Structure 1
C-alpha cells in the first residue's frame, strides 16, 4: 500500500469510530504500531484534527470531513453482497432503506465498477420469514435506538410463560432466528430473548439511561467471559 493511500485509510478508520488504538489501526493496515504513530503525527502536522496520543488512542474531532468517496470494484461488490445477504432478514423499513442506499452508491460508480458490482455471482436463498417476528424486529430496533423500555409476554423453550419488562440493547441474527439482548428488570440481569417466542410486545413511554453494568458493551463483555466455559461444556 502506498503511503498516501495508507494516510487516507487511517483517516477513514478514525472517522468511523469514537476511539481507535494504534494497535488496532496497525492490525487493519498490516503495518507496525510505530508506523501508525509516525503516520498520525504526519497527519496532525498537515492539519488533520486528530486528538489522542500513543498508548491511549486517537479520534477525529467533530466537523472534519473529506470529499465524497469513490469505491473500488471489490468494495462495491462487498456492498452488494452485504445487502443481498441481509435484506431478507431485515424488517421491511430497513430492507427498503438498504436497497435505496445501495442504488445510490451503484449509480455513481464508473461503468466498469457498476457492471462488476451488479453482476456479482453471489446470492442469498430466500429466508422463511416469520412476518410477526420481522415486524417486531423493527419495533425492537427502534426501541433500542430510542432507549425505551419494553413490556412483553415470553414463552421459553420448555413452554413456561412469563411477563417481562426490559431495556432493549441490541438485536442479533442467528441465521434461523433473531434474538434480543436486553437488561431484564424482572431478573435484574442480562438476558437474550428469541423474538419469535415473544407473544406480545409493547414499547413503554419510559426512557432509560445507560448505567454502568447494564449497557450493551457490558453485555458483550459478559458473553466473552462466559463463552469459553460454555464452549468447553459437554
Structure 2
C-alpha cells in the first residue's frame, strides 16, 4: 500500500474518532485539524458513508454520528470519565510535545466510546477546568470528584465552609469552574451572597450534593474572567 493510501486511511480513522468524540463537527474544523482542504473532508465523509458509517449532515451546522451507532467496548462511570479529563489538563502542562499529543489522542479515543450525554459533560468539564503547576504536591482535598459531578450535572451543593478568618458558614452553591494554582479552587454562584465566589477546596469541611438542579451558567471560563476580573 502506498504512503498516500496509508495517510488517507489514517485520516479517515482520525475523522471517525472526531465524530465519535464530539456531538457535532464542521468541515472547516476538520480541514484545519488535519491540514487538508474542505473538499478533501467532503470526500472523506462520503468514503465513511460508503463504508456504512451513519454520518448525519445537519445543514448549516456540520456532521454528527447517528445516536447509538457505536456500542461501547468499555464502560466508564461518569466520575471515572471526569478523572480522565482532569488528568488531561495535568498532562497538557507537560513540556514534552510528543507526550502531550499522544495523551490527547488517547483521550479522544476514550471520549469516542462515551455516549452523547457523558461526552457533552466531559467537554464542559474540560472547558471549565484550569490547571497550573502545583506548588504543593500533598493531597489537600477529598471533594474534587463530587464537585466535578455536581458541576457537569448542574446540581446544587450544600457545603460547610471555613474561610481564612476561621469563620464557619453553611452555603448553597452552584458550581461553575475549577482552578488550580497553589491549591484547588471552586468558582461557584453563592446563593447566600448572591454573587460568584471562590471557595478553596481544602476549606470545605463537608459537602452534600442536592437533588435540585440549577440553571446552567451560559458563559465560558474566559467570559467569566472578562466579566468579573
Q: Distance in 1 between matches of 2:222 and 2:26?
A: 19
After TM superposition, give the deviation of residue 163 of structure 1 in Å.
4.0
User: Aligned residues, how many?
Assistant: 171
Q: How does 1:35-74 map to 2 (within 5 A)?
A: 35-53=40-58, 55-65=60-70
**Bigger Rg, which one:** 1
Task: Kindly report the root-mean-square deviation, in angstroms, between the aligned alpha carbons of the 2 structures.
Answer: 3.7
Quick one: which of 176, 187, 205 aligns to 1:181?
Answer: 187
Q: 2:208 aligns with which of 200, 203, 228?
A: 203
- Contact 1:190 1:219 survives alignment (8 Å): no
Q: CA-to-partner distance for each residue in 1:124-162, whole Å, 9 max, x for gaps?
A: 99953244x1x1223323433554321224455677765
| Aligned residue number for residue 17 of structure 2 | 12
Structure with more relative contact order (C-alpha pairs < 8 Å, separation 6 or more): 2
Q: TM-score, normalised by structure 1?
A: 0.57
- What are the superposed Cα offsets for residues 68-123 of structure 1, whole Å, 9 maximum, x if unpaired? 7xxxxxxxxxx9xx68x67xxxxxxxxxxxxxxxxxx9xxxxxxxxxxxxxxxxxx
State which of 149, 155, 163 in structure 2 corresponds to 1:148: 155
**CA distance 1:8–1:54, shift in 2 (3 Å):** farther
Q: Counterparts of 1:106-185 in structure 2 under 5 Å?
A: 128-131=137-140, 133=141, 135-154=142-161, 163-172=170-179, 174-185=180-191
Give the secondary-structure state (helix, strand or coil) at the position aligned to 2:70: coil
TM-aligned CA deviation for residue 188 of structure 1: 4.0
What displacement does 1:46 show? 3.0
TM-score after normalising by structure 2? 0.58
Structure 1 contact 21–55 (Cα < 8 Å) conserved: no
User: Does the C-alpha gap of structure 1 residues 51 and 187 become closer, same or farther in structure 2, counting only changes over 3 Å?
Assistant: farther
CA 1:147 to 1:226, structure 2 compared with 1: closer, same or farther past 3 Å?
closer
Gaps of 5+ in 1: 69-78, 87-104, 106-123
